[in-house]
Amino acid sequence: MTRCGGAGARGPAATLRRTFAGARAALLVAAAALAAGCASVPALAPAPPGETLSGRLAMRVEAHGNESARAFSAAFDLRGDPVAGELGLSTPLGSMLAQARWRGDEAVLVTPRGSRSFADLDQLTREALGESLPIAAWFDWLRGRPWPGAPSTPLAGAGAGFAQLGWTVDLERLGTGAVVATRERPAPTVRVRIQVDPS
């Protein structure tokens, strides 16, 4: 039986804090995990066949107001599609940090402490990472194309890419498997660099 609160709840949170050296994103993951420890949420069905991408991602949030800059990095596995899929985050040694699962209008955050449901991926990523990330669009962005679910604008200049959903997607290094997405508004500026492993 899982106990909620008390001394037994401190171990996983302390481990996450040590793993990320105080990064705010890790603390938010730990907080979500502790909150989820007392909730019972049915697991979603496995993601259907679709895209399968893995690699490493690094997110940096610039300083803004009284908030210091913060950074987060993890190995990732992205499976399924924008309608039904999952995104797993893990340490370099393979230990699970968190897993986002979505299907239709349901999104679930799974951590070693339990599960918690959200209305959509926007709310889930904001809770888990401190900022909203357009995960549904990543299936297309990481293949070098705009997501068909929203308007996009090609970028001018030497670096190939496009603007979509308030993000600038830089595809200049797509040949090496790297995509960099930057959101400047609303503040703070958020930059996500995703390095996809070769197929």
Q: pLDDT tens digits for 126-144?
A: 988 889 999 999 999 999 9
- Quick check: 87 and 76 in contact, CB under 8 A? yes
Which residue pairs, CB below 8 angstroms and at least 24 apart, start in 86-93?
A: 86/47, 87/135, 89/57, 91/19
- Quick check: 144 and 152 in contact, CB under 8 A? no
Answer yes or no: pTM beyond 0.85: no
Q: Does domain 51-196 have CATH number 2.170.190.11?
A: no
Torsion-angle region of residue 36: left (phi > 0), alpha (psi -120 to 50) or beta? Answer: alpha
* pLDDT above 90: residue 199: no
Residue-level pLDDT at 118: 95
